[in-house]
Amino acid sequence: MGERDQPLLSIRDLRITFRTRTESVRAVDGVSFDVYPGETLGVVGESGSGKSVTMLSVLRLIPPSTRVATSGQVLFNGKDLLQASKREIRAIRGRHIALIPQDPMTCLDPVLKVGRQVREAIEAHENLSATEADRRGVALLETVGIPEPGRRYAQFPHEYSGGMRQRAMIAMGVANAPSLLIADEPTTALDVTIQAQIMDVLRAAQRETGASMVLVSHDLGLIAEMADRVVVMYAGHVVESADVETIFSGPRHPYTLGLIGSLPQTTGNEKWLRPIPGSPPDLARVPSGCPFHPRCFLSRGREICRTTRPELGSIGTSEHRSACHFAAELEGASALPASGRHEGAG
């Protein structure tokens, strides 16, 4: 690949803690990763892994409160967004960084026509007349594949199907040609056929704008189809990161191996097709040592897994990193063969 460009987005030692009257929940604990120009970064993990909270913090969309503590850095083109003023953040949202949420029905205003909401997204950053903004809005709906865009532009969200609502959110997200798209579980609750259509729309929108994309998902099949690189999160930590081929052909963390092994497939090394036992931990009571050790087949009888948290360290090359004391024991543990890597992708 050669020497990389400077990162578009750099997250450094991000920590987010939610406090209640009785306990503290560290949803994100020391997360660091980069997003480079033009690439798609997949962020994957089970529910509660911290992936969505991490990305919401980029746009400062976690409601400010004395009960939420945030530290670290979120650098966008070198500027720390955690230190930016409210005015600066408003100028960045939608114009430079856009969020495509997982549930458009809760994000679209039910009493405003879809066209009005698309037009507002355009007018927030462009000095256009209402007529010009409407013309562009109709064109955006057509671009994302909504049939009869002129008629649909004048309809309310409840008159759209789930897939059409998600297309409308994508249209709003790309309205101002942002340089970074954050797609947070963009195909949740959609059937497989519609999922594929939505991802095709996202690919086309990314090509059209030249944007980078962060794709947040629990669906490894989707990540396999879409991502250039992958960050795997567990219990608020990054446990592995690498290019997508390396993640799928040679995972070096037991959690990644378990996630991939859960994918439907017809071929593979049965030795490594292991479902993950147990459930993710309560984030108010994360186990000591490696947070994955209660569910890990490599930790049995090994005190270090229970007492010492592993650092995210390089494996072979600086591009592949794993937070496992015994990552070397997983060498050659190909969870999915290259020929079957996209099996089951939605």
Q: How many residues does the chain have?
A: 346
- Mean pLDDT over 231-236 rounds to 97
**Band of the pLDDT at 256, cuts 50, 70, 90?**
very high
Q: Considering only CA atoms, which of 17, 51, 47, 14 is closest in space to residue 30?
A: 14
**Band of the pLDDT at 187, cuts 50, 70, 90?**
confident
Are 323 and 289 spatial neighbours (Cβ–Cβ below 8 Å)? Answer: no
Are 105 and 188 spatial neighbours (Cβ–Cβ below 8 Å)? Answer: no
- Mean pLDDT over 216-236 rounds to 93
Architecture of the domain made up of 9-231? 3-Layer(aba) Sandwich (3.40)
Question: Checking DSSP bridges between strand 229-234 and strand 40-44, what pairing results, if any?
Answer: parallel
| Tokens 């959690």 sit on residue | 255
Residue 10 identity: S
The reported pLDDT for the residue numbered 342 is 38
Tell me the helix, strand and coil percentages in the chain, rounded to 5: 35, 20, 40
Indicate if the pLDDT at residue 89 is higher than 90: yes
Where along the chain do its domains lie?
9-231, 235-340
The reported pLDDT for the residue numbered 341 is 39
Indicate if the pLDDT at residue 160 is higher than 60: yes
Rounded to two decimals, the pTM is 0.89
